[in-house]
Structure 1
Amino acid sequence: MAGAFKTPGVYINEKNAFPNSVVEVATAVPAFIGYTKFADNKGTSLSNKPWRITSMSEFQNYFGGAPDDQFEILEKSADDAVSNFKSAGKEYVVKRKGGKSDTQRFYLFRSMQLFFQNGGGPCYIVSIGSYTDEGIKKSELQLGVDLLLKEQEPTMVVIPDAVALEEGDCIAVQQYSLKHCGTQKNRFAILDVHNGYKDRKDPPEDVIVTFRGDLGTNYLNYAAAYYPWLNTSIIATTDLDFSSFSDLSQLKSLLLAEAGGDNAPDDLKSILNQVGDATRDPNAKTYLSDDELHKILFSVSPTYANILLAIKQKLNLLPPAAAMAGVYTMVDNNRGVWKAPANVSLASVISPAVNITHDEQEDLNVTTAGKSINAIRSFIGEGTLVWGARTLDGNSLDWRYINVRRTMIMLEESLRLATKAYVFEPNVSGTWVTIKSMASNFLTSIWKRGGLAGASPEDAFSVHVGLGETMTSEDILEGILRVTILVALSRPAEFIEITFQQQMQKS
């Protein structure tokens, strides 16, 4: 600067007194992968393109509505465990069109509704196909995972449609998402248990044992799994009508038989004749709209109401991962990523598909295999609560808890992005002091908010950088600047023990 002084006068030289600040990265931005009705933004295709949305209305604008789930009515056979309803002395079951399993359907749309109901916010949607395609494919879901490689913002990966695959393919997709999270190191996978609506005692085998045995052991600390599935209230009876039936003639015959067959009232016969008749005259005196026909049938026919109730129960059975992504978002926003996402009630959930007792949860939470499964349980007077906060790496003292893993991801990403400003800076003491001050200021702010454990900042963290402390002279010659940061992360009080002891009475 002295060489620039050529003219007498006063010169001002400003120097920065403070280091750069570290911006805390977002922690609750899930990426959902699955099938949608369409994928379009005003003529531009969004297929196979991660797209950020912030509400359910935006999802419907860009990706459309719910799939057209079709059902048929069959007489109960010996293979059916229970019937869905009775009519005219016979037992019937409601099944998906073509004999498909009740779980072999598109889950993304309903899961998104559940996500936003439970506190969800900004998220990414990866549409890898439409409802008109040949069905759900393992390769397409894995392609959706790969599409996230170039996206920096997502911090969670959720694939609701994976559970519609065969068991082996579902596990393969989940292993693929685990590998993605483990290699990226900046996101967390939330997994559903395949056939998680079944009780562990149901044949042919224990769904939890199968899940644990097939999942493998790689990258377990970057994921959590939840059991069982949920009976939700996402779909109301008023959302359904006779358009849900693949064969209306079958439905009409059943309702006519319920009313007495040929002896049924003429008014009812007239109503049934109009159901599904696209050629009826809107100007006729007897004309009724589809909505009016549905409301009349629902009020006069118990069988029709029972059939719709059975369909509603089947459609409302949903895997829990999307709801948990909403819970993660809500807890992160209200308390911080360091708060365990547990002991929180679930919205729009009537009950878990399987009731779990205290004793039954023991094997889910703590097992020799280490693959902890978080339970979702129903408590009297409290509703349905998330009653577990462990990663799949349940035996690791370092990464046992979800909030510890996710807090560390946040700290690592925040400091990594902030330190990029010092790439190619001189590897000298001035740079070391600046980086140390920057990291210390950031960690102090996290400690003040309760993110780190310790009575003082010195107890909560320490930052080390410098020649002879973290680097050798060879490191400096090779252009390597090493920073070591030690943090004391807060862990949840998972087990609270209260000891009672009698004492002598005092006068």
Structure 2
Amino acid sequence: MGKIKKPGVYITEINSFPNSVVPVPTAIPAFIGYTPRVKFKQKSYKNVPQKISSFAEFQEIYGYSDFPKALDPAKQYSPEYYLVKQKNQPKKDNFISIDGSFYSVLPDPNTIYYLYNSIRLFYENGGGEAYIVSVGTYGQPSKKPINPGKQIVNPNIQLNALINGVASLKNEKEPTMYICPEATLLSIEENGTLMQEMLRQNTEVQTAISIFDVIGGRNPDPTLYTKDIENFRNNTGEIGLSYGAAYYPFIETTIMQASDVDFTNLFGGDISQLESIINPADNQNPKISKLLDEIKNPSLRISITQYHKSLLIASKTYNSIINEVLKSINVMPASGGIAGVITRTDIQQGVWKAPANASIFGAVDLPIRITNEQQEDLNVDVVSGKSINAIRFFNGKGILIWGARTLDGNSQEMKYISIRRTLIFLEQSCKSAAQAYIFEPNTKNTWDSIKSMIGSFLTGIWREGGLMGAKASDAFSVQCGLGSTMTSVDIENGILIVSVGVALTRPAEFIVFSFELQLPTTD
């Protein structure tokens, strides 16, 4: 209270509650990639991080708008596929057998994108708030299929565009995960460049990890898949490995349904090519012929959806083709679903719980079923030390995330995702709270106040199970003061140093039982 100059009654309010640490959010992913559109209400959202809280909000900003008088709703994602006749049964590609002939079901690589459905998968798995960075809209199709057996590389997806999208997040402190599903549609070399740039930025900002998918995880060879793993490890570099986590393989989902695909997705919309397969000249079906004629020469206000449903009923072959195309479209990178699982785990149990031994909702199968022996080389690599988390199928349990490691698999401190993410959470929460003490006197009162504030916060985390120890003093320590964390020179230079030690919980990755045979005693 200032100097009192006249008689009277005065009130002085005293702050009874000291400053406290407010926990920062732990599961806010940032998705970087291509969207149906980048303009909404005359505003461009290209390379502009935009926070959303639902899939409906994502669609409103980045999705195509429906015209009021349109017969069919706008397709937000419309990949194109071709049926290519083969001499023998394909070994890797999706295929269909029609009248004794084998047809590979092959995409036009220029039309394949993963971001839209990854957002859907994120929300299906419990996702909440997220950031979207659109780096552009879909490009033009090539009007031809990919060569059989080849990995999909979409030339419309540009490395520099994705790097610039990642860079736009530098000043955003909320995102805790970077996810770029379409990185797997780059070449192996460009994918490596992008991953290294993401890890470098993670190291710089220290607020987020990156979740990676492995090129080749979409359609792996049962024996030669190890080459895809080797390529991945060779291209991730050595910087910021504890800020990265990789998952293998892709997952087969139910994200897109039969209503999302129709004959316009086949042969670039050329109905005559479809006709030669489902209604060949030497074995024509009158009903199918009439339907196809109406589609080619529409005279009534009948929607594509209605024609599509009629074809599904009239032609078993068409039905089989659509199902096979859907199966191919629904094989997706797992990263979007992983982000949803992490969000769900954080909400239910806490950031310190490893996001593993958990189901990915919407996943119904895997392109390859990894065995115990195969996972050994994924989980622990003696050469590079770069761990890759397996997604596996278990009888009676279904598809589970069966790994919880960062890429820094040789590190004793940062080998687990939960350790890295918990440390980010604690660091950023304490850092944010400490902002209140900037320009405060660098004296014992300030030091004690900071120690009390952080100590109270960490006690709460310990009680929730986030720190190890029989008592709070075993779980953490907070030091701040002259002679312990600072010298007189530090104080003269305006530097206040706080030292925090925490005993973080680690996942029980290997559970070992020891049994001893005890012989019965005789009287």
TM-score past 0.5 threshold:
yes
- Matching of residue 244 in structure 1 with residue 303 in structure 2: no
Structure 2 CA distance for aligned equivalents of residues 489 and 208 of structure 1: 30
1:353 maps to which of 359, 362, 367: 367
2:122 maps to which of 94, 115, 126: 115
Contact 1:200–1:208 (CA<8 Å) still a contact in 2?
no
Structure 1 portions without partners, runs of 5+ = 283-287
1:273 maps to which of 293, 296, 311: 293
- Matching of residue 211 in structure 1 with residue 232 in structure 2: yes
Structure 2 CA distance for aligned equivalents of residues 237 and 307 of structure 1: 11
In the other structure, the counterpart of 1:320 is 334
Cα deviations by residue, 1:220-277 (Å, 9 ceiling, x for unpaired): 00010000110111112232211211121110121212xxx35534333211211243
In the other structure, the counterpart of 1:401 is 416
- Summarize the Cα distance change of 1:14–1:281 in structure 2 as closer, same or farther, 3 Å threshold: closer
Structure 2 CA distance for aligned equivalents of residues 436 and 289 of structure 1: 68
Q: How does 1:65-84 map to 2 (within 5 A)?
A: 66-77=76-87, 80-81=90-91, 84=95
Aligned-pair RMSD on alpha carbons?
Answer: 1.9
Aligned length: 493
* Cα distance, 1:142 vs structure 2: 0.1
Contact 1:85–1:303 (CA<8 Å) still a contact in 2?
no
Contact 1:198–1:207 (CA<8 Å) still a contact in 2?
no
* Cα distance, 1:289 vs structure 2: 4.4
Cα deviations by residue, 1:299-325 (Å, 9 ceiling, x for unpaired): 232211111111101100101111100
Amino acid at match of 1:290: I
1:382 maps to which of 391, 397, 400: 397
* Cα distance, 1:177 vs structure 2: 0.7
In the other structure, the counterpart of 2:312 is 298
Structure 1 CA distance for aligned equivalents of residues 48 and 225 of structure 2: 39
Contact 2:214–2:232 (CA<8 Å) still a contact in 1?
yes
2:192 maps to which of 155, 163, 171: 171
Deviates more, 1:262-271 or 1:430-439: 262-271
2:485 maps to which of 443, 465, 470: 470
* Cα distance, 1:297 vs structure 2: 1.9
- Matching of residue 372 in structure 1 with residue 387 in structure 2: yes
Contact 2:209–2:244 (CA<8 Å) still a contact in 1?
yes
- Summarize the Cα distance change of 1:400–1:181 in structure 2 as closer, same or farther, 3 Å threshold: same
Q: How does 1:15-414 map to 2 (within 5 A)?
A: 15-64=14-63, 66-77=76-87, 80-81=90-91, 84-97=95-108, 100=109, 105-132=112-139, 135-199=156-220, 201-203=222-224, 206-245=227-266, 246=268, 247-257=270-280, 261=281, 264-278=284-298, 280-282=299-301, 289-368=303-382, 369-414=384-429
Amino acid at match of 2:475: A
Structure 1 CA distance for aligned equivalents of residues 225 and 441 of structure 2: 65
Cα deviations by residue, 1:349-406 (Å, 9 ceiling, x for unpaired): 0122210111111111112121000010001111100000000001111101101100
In the other structure, the counterpart of 1:431 is 446
- Summarize the Cα distance change of 1:14–1:24 in structure 2 as closer, same or farther, 3 Å threshold: same
* Cα distance, 1:78 vs structure 2: 6.5
Amino acid at match of 1:51: Q
Structure 1 CA distance for aligned equivalents of residues 489 and 61 of structure 2: 54
In the other structure, the counterpart of 1:5 is 4
- Matching of residue 483 in structure 1 with residue 498 in structure 2: yes
Secondary structure at the residue paired with 2:235?
helix
Contact 1:73–1:250 (CA<8 Å) still a contact in 2?
no
Amino acid at match of 1:255: I
Amino acid at match of 1:385: L
Contact 1:19–1:435 (CA<8 Å) still a contact in 2?
no
Cα deviations by residue, 1:394-448 (Å, 9 ceiling, x for unpaired): 1111101101100000110011111011111111111111111111111111111
- Summarize the Cα distance change of 1:262–1:495 in structure 2 as closer, same or farther, 3 Å threshold: closer
Cα deviations by residue, 1:35-85 (Å, 9 ceiling, x for unpaired): 011123322121111111111111111001632211122211569536712
Structure 2 CA distance for aligned equivalents of residues 487 and 200 of structure 1: 44
- Summarize the Cα distance change of 1:69–1:360 in structure 2 as closer, same or farther, 3 Å threshold: same
Structure 1 CA distance for aligned equivalents of residues 224 and 505 of structure 2: 41
Structure 1 CA distance for aligned equivalents of residues 131 and 46 of structure 2: 13
Contact 1:70–1:96 (CA<8 Å) still a contact in 2?
yes
Contact 2:89–2:102 (CA<8 Å) still a contact in 1?
no
Amino acid at match of 2:295: V
Amino acid at match of 1:250: Q
Secondary structure at the residue paired with 2:171?
coil
Cα deviations by residue, 1:131-164 (Å, 9 ceiling, x for unpaired): 1367100000000001001111111100011111
Structure 1 CA distance for aligned equivalents of residues 373 and 225 of structure 2: 22
- Summarize the Cα distance change of 1:83–1:350 in structure 2 as closer, same or farther, 3 Å threshold: closer
Contact 1:30–1:157 (CA<8 Å) still a contact in 2?
yes
1:419 maps to which of 422, 425, 434: 434
Secondary structure at the residue paired with 1:152?
coil
Structure 1 CA distance for aligned equivalents of residues 38 and 366 of structure 2: 32
* Cα distance, 1:10 vs structure 2: 4.0
Structure 1 CA distance for aligned equivalents of residues 303 and 10 of structure 2: 84
Structure 1 vs Structure 2: percent identity of aligned residues? 43
- Summarize the Cα distance change of 1:53–1:309 in structure 2 as closer, same or farther, 3 Å threshold: same
Structure 2 CA distance for aligned equivalents of residues 267 and 11 of structure 1: 94
Secondary structure at the residue paired with 1:215?
coil
Structure 1 CA distance for aligned equivalents of residues 13 and 245 of structure 2: 51
Q: How does 1:438-457 map to 2 (within 5 A)?
A: 438-457=453-472
